[in-house]
Structure 1
Amino acid sequence: MPTQTRVYNWYISLVAAACMVLYGYDASVYNSVQGSKNWVAYFNSPSPNMIGLINSVYTVGAIIGGFFFGGPIADYFGRKVGMGTGCVLVIIATFVQTFSPRGSIGTFMAGRIIIGFGQGIALVSGPIYIGELAPSHIRGKIMSFWQLFYSVGSFICFWVAYACSKHIEALGEWDWKMTVIFQILVPTIILALLPFMPGTPRWYLKKNGDIEKARNALRRVRDTDEEVDAELMEIREALEFEKEISSSYSALWKDPSVRKRLMIAFVLNAGQQITGQGSLNSYSTKIYQKVFLDPQKIMLINALNATCGIIFTLNAVWTVDRFGRKFLLIVGGVGMGLCMLICASVETQTPTSASGAKSQPVSIAIVFLLFLFIFFYKPSWGATIWIWTSEIFSTNVRAQAVGMCAQMQNVANCIVNQFFPLFLKKCGFYAFYMFAGINILLALFVYFIVPETKQVKLEEMDTLFGGQNHIEKGANIMGYPSRETSMAAQGGQHGDEISEVKGMGQQANKTAAHHTEYVNPMRHG
């Protein structure tokens, strides 16, 4: 039976994960409005290049927000402020897009830039907040909801769009405006809940050295005082060592271990978007128009796709901490590659009717294969990339590094989505052969390069990449015996006990014996 603190840990993590609903909704809303004849007429039938540009300016806003503002805001003002700032900007941008003057595609694009900027900021703070408050042995499960909520955003958007498509005569131009303005719902809810959530202990200690606030935050999400004291000590030891390194952007390049992580994470995050999922999210309406003629049928398929996306992402909850990150990424990459290969072959090697549609069996096969692609993508390159990226960096560079890595998704997305509409128009489903090859290459990259991070403590992550253990180094700097030294003195009796959960009490007793004055700030005067 889960404890009250564990339930609360899940609750605050899910609120933070709801930032991903913003991303999922907006990635789908532009896809949806492209299927509205009223939207096309309202903005004077944009060309394929303009369609790509409207999508690209969103990613440019996200890149600027994530690269240059997300990290500093999360570090200086806190993770909660970062999420709140992003939500406010999304609400403002939603109104700008909804009430753009007729024919003013520039105003609509300005709203897209602002919404991308806001999401770029929120998507840096959200996974950091979850990673810094979740216990390591369930961190993967909780972080899997980050990608799940992307699917929730798509789910809401596509079903709203489908409902509006059923009442076009009554709604008129509001068939697309209703889809756009509905985006204010989730950021409003997040803004209402954020003030009542704790900050992260790592931020309290790193920013102001506020031990009491850090301890109070941990008490709200840990079951015992022993767990709180043990984790608080480990965080402080790690931060003490990190002070000796650097907390600026230069640390990303000076430390070979961090530099290695950054390069691997860049490839994985860019790879997430060039699997083909980024193009499917943005242009599935255009893709299905090559197979189906009925706009409502396309809207329904998009809505069902988003629904299945939620179900498929739930697979990450029970697989990511059981089988590990690396296994999921390899299986997902191979599975997606085969789906794209077969899908491209089925569409390009079968006849098209005079009306421009495929036969019913071929259409069903294509839809099935694209749904199967989502089945492989969601728990692997969808959820697991976010989990892996948010947990591999140490506190001194985490906000900057996660922000930069997350925006590599938008860099890749911007490049691919700019040329994909034209590519699709000229080459059709032959474009999918490219995605098939990319996915196989990504699976090979993970197999040979990416280490497993399952159930590794955040403060000990550096050792996987050839770096130093921040807890041990911090303890040495402060003049306290390391855990290895203490264990050796006791004959190694507790070596197997210092684990994620069972070892909390033992570790707390050891640290209390050596560091009583240090843990209790009142004794410092």
Structure 2
Amino acid sequence: MVSKTGVYNWYICLVAAGCMVLMGYDASVFNSVQNSNNWIEYFDNPNSYMLGLLNTVYTVGGIITGWFFAGPLADWLGRRWGMGIGCFLTIIATFMQCFAPRHGMGTFMAGRVIIGAGQALAIAAGPIYIGEVTPSYIRGVIMAFWQMFYSVGSFVAYWVNYVAGKHRTSLGEWDWKLVVIFQLLLPVIILLQLPFMPESPRWLVQRKGDTEGARRVLQQVRESDEEIDQELLTIREAIQYENEVLDRGKKAYMTLIKDGSVRKRLLLVFVLNIGQQLSGQGTLNSYSSTIYKKIWTSTDTINLINALNATFGILFTLNATWTVDRFGRRFLLILGAFGMGTCMFITAIVGLETPNTPQGAKTEPVGIAIVFLMFLFIFFYKPSWGATVWIYTAEVFPMNVRAQAVGMSSQMQGVANTVFQQFFPIFYKNEGLKTFFFFMTCNFFLAVFVWFMIPETKKVPLEEMDALFGGVSHVQGGALILDVKRTKEGDENAEQSK
């Protein structure tokens, strides 16, 4: 039977997961507008270098914000404010991109920078919020929707682009502006919902020392008083240890470097987030239109393929909801990496060993085969290196550095994109489908890395992650401190009674 608290827990988590729509939509927007001749003409026919730069400035805005501002903001003002400010910046940037003056690539580019910064704030606060308000035994299931909402963003963007493309002649330059302006939809919805959502109970204890406020929040999302009391106790114990022993608030960033257990986690998660992009997914999402132009000559066909890809991406991500807490994070990451690597290998072989048509494209059967392999790639990617990387990133860090670590780790995807996407258009122009051998190699190496380096976190409570990674249990350390305090208070009270 579905309980009221369970429904409310899902509601607030799905609103927070909506922040990922911003990222999925924007990546797909840029891919979509590249396929519009009106956009190309509007901005003076940008070359491959400029296309790479447009992607780079977006990721640079995200990297700087994610590394230095997202964590402190989510810690200082709260998780909800982090999501809210990120959505607000996205709205401003959307208007800048949509209404940039003709030939005004500078304005469009500035909008890309701001939208990268806004998304960095939102995607750092969102998964932290979800992880901190959900019970450990369903955390993986709910966090799977985080990645699914990326696919929802792509779904909306590509289908809007497909419909606009079918009416390109009548719409004129609005064929691409409609795709851009639709990005307002989700941030507006999220902003309207945030006032009705509670703050994270862990943030209330950590930042405000508001134990009763945290209890009221837990009463809205937990089933029993026993569960509430136990969780609140572990939160208090962990934060007590972090405040007194780790001097939280003064050394959050230094802890990431000096604490061996935390440093190990940070490096492991950095590799996972870089690997998510080097798998080939980031490139496919940003440049699939460029890739498909070597296979198909019809713009409408390419737009339809992108839209169908995004649609199936939603369905494939749902596989994580029933696998991630059943089979574990490691299983999905290893299986996904091997599956993606195999798809990349076969795609390259099919593309390279089949002849081109006189127009320079592929025959329809070969094109269909390549598109099928790309869909199969997404089948392996979405529940594994899509959803599971985000789940792992949001759950492994202790409260005293969680906001900073998640903000930095998520933007390692941006670092990988900045380095690779800048030269990928030229790389692909020169080498064509041979570039897929690079992604194949990356995926096989990632599977080996996970096998030897990544511990399983399935159903491990957030406050117990430190012990799993070889560190001191913050819960046990905090319990000892609280017991000592209680003993001292008891002795003082006994002495006064004499």
Q: Answer yes or no: same fold by TM over 0.5.
A: yes
Match of 2:263 among 259, 270, 279: 259
Whether the 8 Å CA contact 1:143–1:387 is kept in 2: the answer is yes
Output one character per residue of 1:322-369: Cα deviation in whole Å (capped at 9) or x when no partner.
000000000000000000000011101111111011011110110000
Greater shift after overlay, 394-403 or 246-255? 246-255
Indicate which of 374, 377, 383 corresponds to 2:378: 374
Query: C-alpha separation between the residues in 1 aligned to 2:266 and 2:13?
Result: 25
- Note the 1:384-399 alignment, pairs <5 A: 384-399=388-403
Letter in 2 for 1:269: N
Contact 1:65 1:119 in 2 (8 A): no
Separation in 1, partners of 2:315, 2:215: 37
Task: Extract unaligned runs of 5+ from structure 2.
Answer: 491-498
Whether 2:137 is the aligned partner of 1:137: answer yes
Shift, 1:234, TM fit: 0.7
* Offset of residue 246 of structure 1: 3.5
Alignment of 1:298-309 (within 5 A): 298-309=302-313
The answer to whether 1:95 aligns with 2:95 is yes
Aligned residue in 2 for 1:510: none
Query: What is the alpha-carbon distance in structure 1 between the residues aligned to residue 20 and residue 359 of structure 2?
Result: 39
Separation (CA, whole Å) in 1 of partners of 2:322 and 2:141 = 7
Counterpart in 1 of 2:495?
none
Equivalents in 1 of 2:27, 2:155: separation in Å?
Answer: 11
Q: Does 1:121 align with 2:125?
A: no
What is the letter of the counterpart of residue 34 of structure 1? Q
Q: Name the CA distance, whole Å, in 2 between partners of 1:406 and 1:76.
A: 19
Aligned ranges 1:11-410 → 2 under 5 Å: 11-243=11-243, 244-247=245-248, 248-410=252-414
Q: What is the rounded CA distance, in whole Å, between the counterparts of 2:36 and 2:247 in structure 1?
A: 51
Letter in 1 for 2:271: V
Per-residue Cα deviation, 1:6-60 (whole angstroms, up to 9, x for no partner):
1111110000000000000001000000000000000010000000000110000
* 1:373-452 correspondence runs (5 A): 373-452=377-456
What letter is aligned with 2:202? Answer: R
Separation (CA, whole Å) in 2 of partners of 1:438 and 1:357:
27
**Residue equivalent to 1:500:** none
Q: Is the 8 A contact 1:336 1:373 kept in 2?
A: yes
Query: Shift in Å at residue 2 of structure 1?
Result: 2.1
User: Residue 257 of structure 1 contacts residue 467 of structure 1 at CA under 8 Å; is this kept in 2?
Assistant: yes
Q: In structure 2, what is the Cα distance between the partners aligned to 1:321 and 1:458?
A: 15
Q: Which residue of 2 aligns with 1:494?
A: none
State percent identity of aligned pairs: 61
**What TM-score does the superposition give when structure 1 sets the normalisation length?**
0.91
Q: Which stretch shows the higher mean deviation, 378-387 or 166-175?
A: 166-175
Aligned residues: 486
CA distance in 1, matches of 2:230, 2:3: 19
Q: Deviations over 1:397-416 (max 9, x none)?
A: 00000011000010001111
Structure 1 position 254, deviation (Å):
1.2
Shift of 1:470: 1.2
Offset at residue 432 of structure 1 (A): 0.3
Q: Residue in 1 aligned with 2:493?
A: none
Q: Which residue of 2 aligns with 1:503?
A: none
User: 1:167-215: per-residue Cα shift (whole Å, max 9, x none)?
Assistant: 1121110000000000000000000000000001110011010112111
- Spell out, residue by residue over 1:75-107, the C-alpha distance to the aligned partner (whole angstroms, 9 max, x if none): 000000000000000000000000000011111
Counterpart residue number, 1:521: none
Distance (Å, rounded) in 1 between the aligned partners of 2:73 and 2:215: 23
Between the aligned partners of 1:465 and 1:253, the Cα distance in structure 2 is: 15
1:474 aligns with 2:478: yes
Please give the alpha-carbon distance, in whole angstroms, between the structure 1 residues aligned to 2:238 and 2:203. 13
Letter in 1 for 2:102: R
Amino acid at match of 2:16: A
| Counterpart in the other structure of 1:493 | none
One-letter code aligned to 1:44: D
Amino acid at match of 1:385: V
* Cα distance in 2, alignment partners of residues 404 and 172 from structure 1: 41
- Output the TM-score relative to the length of structure 2: 0.96
Cα displacement (A) at 1:480: 6.5
CA contact (8 A) 1:237 1:475 kept: yes
Q: Distance in 2 between matches of 1:2 and 1:234?
A: 26
